[in-house]
Amino acid sequence: MSASVWLIVPAAGQGRRMGADRPKQYLPLAGEAILARTLMRLHAALPEARLVLCLDDDDGWFRPQWVPFAHWQRVAGGAERMDSVLNALRAMPAGENDVVLVHDVARPCVTPNDVRALANAAASHSDGALLAMPVADTMKRATPDGECVRTEPRDGLWHALTPQGFTYGLLRRALEQARKNAAQVTDEASAVEALGGRPRLVSGRRDNLKVTHPDDLALAAAILAAQEP
């Protein structure tokens, strides 16, 4: 890829569903903080990339020695994921056609091969790309009080994962437009879709777990152990 590659990692969330004494990105996982594990995976995939790390201004848990990248910068996180990513895009000195990958800090099990595949797809597809996996389970539509209404067809449905990658210019336009429209997008691909884009789905591994609940920590540790050569 001739364009520069950037990584944005939003890490300003509090992870309250974990019920822990610290933000979940700082919980220990196989002897390291989750944040450190995630950055190690990204660096193994793209060691020459430039990292932008979105952190709370008053974050007292972060340690700079966890960052393995030679070129990186810290920016202030926002109230929502989109706010953090926009802060990063506005602060980073990227070119219009540079490739920008956004990755959840709570996905420490992503494999370097998947990250590289996504980066290549994002660089070659005009509307960008995202890691995803086809839905394998039966999907149910529920009422607000938890009753099953019907079974939804799962043909063509995918679970969105991260990283998600786009050119700098496209991603910034998409998120700036979402901000202008007061739309709260849940991932970067949905902002690009709102502009009429059709990002490419790159099939990723099913063990790209997002640590969200307390029992996810044990599962993530088992996945990391199983991934060791």
Alpha-carbon distances, residue 208 vs 34, 69, 171, 195, 216 (angstroms): 13, 22, 23, 28, 12
Residue with the two structure tokens 């991934």: 227
pTM confidence score: 0.94
Phi, psi at 42, each rounded to 5°: -65, -40
Tell me how far CA of residue 108 lies from CA of 39, 179, 210, in angstroms: 8, 29, 8
DSSP secondary structure letters along 191-216: HHHHTT--PEEEE--TT-----STHH
Q: Where are the domains of the chain?
A: 5-227
Residue 18: pLDDT band by 50, 70, 90 thresholds? Answer: confident
Report the CATH fold assignment for 5-227: Spore Coat Polysaccharide Biosynthesis Protein SpsA; Chain A (3.90.550)
What is the tens place of the pLDDT at every residue in 104-122? 999 999 999 999 999 999 9
Region 73-97: mean pLDDT is 96
pLDDT of residue 1: 44
Q: What residues have CB less than 8 Å from 202, skipping those under 6 apart?
A: 114, 117, 118, 121, 129, 130, 131, 132
